[in-house]
Amino acid sequence: MPEVNTDSLDEQQVRLLAEMCILIDENDRRVGADTKRNCHLNENIDKGLLHRAFSVFLFNTENKLLLQQRSNAKITFPDCFTNTCCSHPLSHPLELEENDAIGVRRAAQRRMKAELGIPMEQVTPEEILYLTRIHYKAKSDGIWGEHEIDYILFVQKDVTLNPDPNEIQSYCYVTQKELKQLLDKASRNEVKITPWFKLIAETFLFKWWDNLPNLDKFVDHEKIHRM
């Protein structure tokens, strides 16, 4: 695997590069495991390395979406605005379990606690709705990038927040109008947003948002949307 100097990167974020992600093929079939570091190097992504991920969209009872701005310590896409929580299930028995994506939903619960400080009992895996999957690839810089099949997860609940500043520099709840204003700012390069959030916002998000009480009709566990 390629040699990359991480001395200039944030110490806490570098430690997380040792986590073992789940390697998959283009149909989301598990083929092995590799470190978060190796999964996010463009040199490996260019050879086809692909891993499993998730994106959580958490709405409060006023139908506002919780956004976060990634900290400047993040190795990929620092300072970018994005959806509530974006991360990876790990190659661990509890998070490898595939029946109804329960492993991915457990990973989402774990990361919402780690990033946003949401108590584990406030959002259980059973309260997280798995909608569908998207497959995308994006470069963060010359060294690091993303290549994921991303499970789209929805939650609607009022939660307690206590974000980790090493993960998140700011957060806010937004209406549809406020998100459209943010997307407009991003199009003028006034703010940065993550590529996966941009893709989802430009395709499916507002349709799903309009139907929060009736999302069952949008559940599609067969198709992987190639973005």
Which of 115, 146, 148, 167 is labelled catalytic?
Answer: 148
Q: What is the pLDDT of residue 2?
A: 55
- pLDDT for 197 equals 96
Alpha-carbon gap, residue 157 to 159, rounded angstroms: 6
pLDDT value of position 16:
64
pLDDT (tens place) for every residue of the chain, 227 residues total: 555 666 666 676 667 678 999 999 999 999 999 998 999 999 999 999 999 999 999 999 999 999 999 998 888 889 999 999 999 999 999 999 999 999 999 999 999 999 999 999 999 999 999 999 999 999 988 899 999 999 999 999 999 999 999 999 999 999 999 999 999 999 999 999 999 999 999 999 999 999 999 999 999 999 999 99
The answer to whether residue 21 is catalytic is no
Q: Which long-range contacts (CB under 8 A, 24 or more apart) does 215-219 make?
A: 215/129, 215/131, 215/154, 218/131, 218/132, 219/129, 219/130, 219/131, 219/132
pLDDT for the residue 23 = 98
Rounded Cα distance, 191 and 132, in Å? 28
pTM over 0.85: yes
Closest CA to 87 of 49, 60, 56, 66: 56
* Amino acid at residue number 168: I
Confidence (pLDDT) at 137: 95
> Of 86, 95, 115, 146, which is the active-site residue?
86
Q: Say what the pLDDT of residue 59 is.
A: 98
Would you state the pLDDT for residue 76?
Answer: 84
Q: Is 80 a catalytic residue?
A: no
Write down the pLDDT at residue 73: 86
